[in-house]
Amino acid sequence: MSDDVLALNVGSSSLRFALFDVADLALRLRGHVDFGHAGARTSLSGPLAGQLGEFVAAGQDAGEAVDRLHTALPNLSLYCASHRIVHGGDLEPRPHQIDAGLVERLQRWAPMALLHQSVALLAVSRLAQRWPELPQVACFDTTFHADQPEVARCYALPRHYTDAGIRRYGFHGLACEFIADALPRLAGPAADGRVVVVHLGSGSSLCALQQRRSIASSMGFSVLDGLPMGTRCGSLDPGVLLHLLDAYGMPVRDVEDLLYRRSGLLGVSGLSADVRVLEASNDPHARQALDLLVYRAVAEIGAMAARLQGLDAIVFSGGAGTGSPSLRARIAERCHWLGVELDAAANQRGDECISRTGARVAVYVVHVDEELMLARAARGAALAGW
């Protein structure tokens, strides 16, 4: 058996990759390319990090980064590569071995995950060019939510549209699955209780967990729905879209660009899509963007608590969810009525548990490892014979 599983995780503003030993999933290498700045920034860690001294990503192209990764990697014997594919559409919700037919089907769903899907499939193509015999596996962010109750997935549209696949899918599933697996260690017997995951980053969403299974997500048919995000609008009255098309005469592609790339925190602030930049700014529009994110996050937590018929725990994840004590504190303060009380010192330190001792609702901070979930899923599928 070959030695390593390569996990590739293409995000809306980054590329994360990792190598895991196929025998025990021990980490051998981890890398992060951040495309959210004028020049791509790369960080490496793990036992093999010193062997990639020449690896420097350039520009904003994840495909090029994969090319450079191939050149920089030592002569490894790879077992398979595993990719985070955001939208699985109507495919069976499980890991799939990638072939040309699967790529074609996944491209049909690319407009529903505009900042992710085509770029991830480009990484698949580049890897196939570099390692043509390497098995590649697609793991979908929608899989974890596939067993939600039908009422949570259905839109109030004529049934033939629902039958054609226009329904709520939910995303950030790999992150939610990691959290669901971590809950027994974090919460003990309460792990199977009523939990809301608050995932805040370039893309943001909430997920309601009961018995560690997804019962609702703030994201729907596409990755535009729910909270305001870095550059995405979040939930929007459909009438606004009709108005943009009619009164402004905007072409569909211009509307698409507006909603995916020019809205969210960037659009409201006029400054940045990065929470860190906004928190450091004295610009009132930066403050307004953060106020809106907090307002909408609190409203969604309340909605999730209603779906769960109560609340036992909140888990913060994602770059901003784990990186901003201020954002967590502001959200928690407005959820006091639900029984949320933070330990200010623990929150400032970013401890794993940041709720006050004896608080009715436990609050956790979890740094998810989507690359581990990718490697685990691909390894399991491969050992089972795909």
Residues serving a catalytic function are 141
Q: How far is CA 301 from the centre of its chain?
A: 18
CB 61 within 8 A of CB 72: no
| Pairwise CA distance, residues 41 & 45, whole Å | 14
Sign, CA torsion 6/7/8/14: negative
Tokens 């030592």 sit on residue? 74
Rg (CA), the chain: 21
Distances in whole angstroms, Cα of residue 60 to Cα of each of 87, 94, 186, 240, 304:
22, 30, 37, 31, 36
Bridge partners, 214 (sequence order): 209
Burial of residue 362, with CB atoms counted within 10 A of its CB: 0-12 exposed, 13-18 middle, 19 or more buried: buried
Q: For residue 201, what are its two tokens?
A: 């980053």
Task: List the one residue out of 140, 134, 160 whose CA is nearest residue 83.
Answer: 140
